Amino acid sequence: MKARIRYSLRLVFLCVTIAAVLLALWSNAAKRQRQTVAEIRSLGGSVAYDHGLFSFLEPILGIDYIADVNVVYLYRYDLPVVDPGHAGFVTDIDALIPHLQRLPSLKRVVGIWHHGDAADRLRKALPGLEIEVGMMASLRELTRILMTIQDERDAVRAAPRLKEHYRQHFAAIRRSETEQIPEASEDAGVADAEWDDAMNGLLAAMDRLRRQVPAAGKLVDRILDESFAEAAERERPGN
Question: What does the pLDDT look like over 133-167, one tens digit per residue?
Answer: 777 777 888 888 888 888 888 888 888 778 777 77
pLDDT band at 183 (very low <50, low <70, confident <90, very high): very low
Q: How far apart are CA 173 and CA 14, in angstroms?
A: 60
Q: What pLDDT sits at residue 34? A: 93
pTM over 0.75: no
Checking if the pLDDT of 32 tops 90, the result is: yes
**148: helix, strand or coil:** coil
Residue 95 belongs to domain spanning = 2-235
The total domain count for the chain is 1
Contact 216, 151 (CB under 8 A): yes
- Is 20 or 211 the better-scoring residue by pLDDT? 211
Is residue 218's pLDDT more than 60? yes
Determine the average pLDDT of the residues in 171-199.
Answer: 59
* Residue 97 pLDDT: 92
- Residue 26 reports pLDDT greater than 50: yes
Mean pLDDT of all residues in 99-117: 83
pLDDT at 206: 87
30 to each of 63, 97, 185, how far by Cα in Å?
9, 19, 33
Task: Return the pLDDT at 225.
Answer: 83
| CA pair distance 31, 35, nearest whole angstrom | 6
Residue 151's pLDDT is what? 85
Q: Is the dihedral of CA 54, 129, 75, 188 positive or negative?
A: negative
User: Residues 123-130: what's their mean pLDDT?
Assistant: 89
Share of residues in the chain with pLDDT > 70 (%): 77
38: pLDDT strictly greater than 60: yes
pLDDT > 90: what percent of the chain? 10
Q: Is the pLDDT of residue 170 over 80?
A: no
Q: Say if residue 16's pLDDT is above 90.
A: no
Ordered DSSP codes for 107-120: -EEEESS--HHHHH
User: Per-residue confidence at 78, pLDDT binned at 50, 70, 90?
Assistant: low
Give the mean pLDDT of 225-234: 71
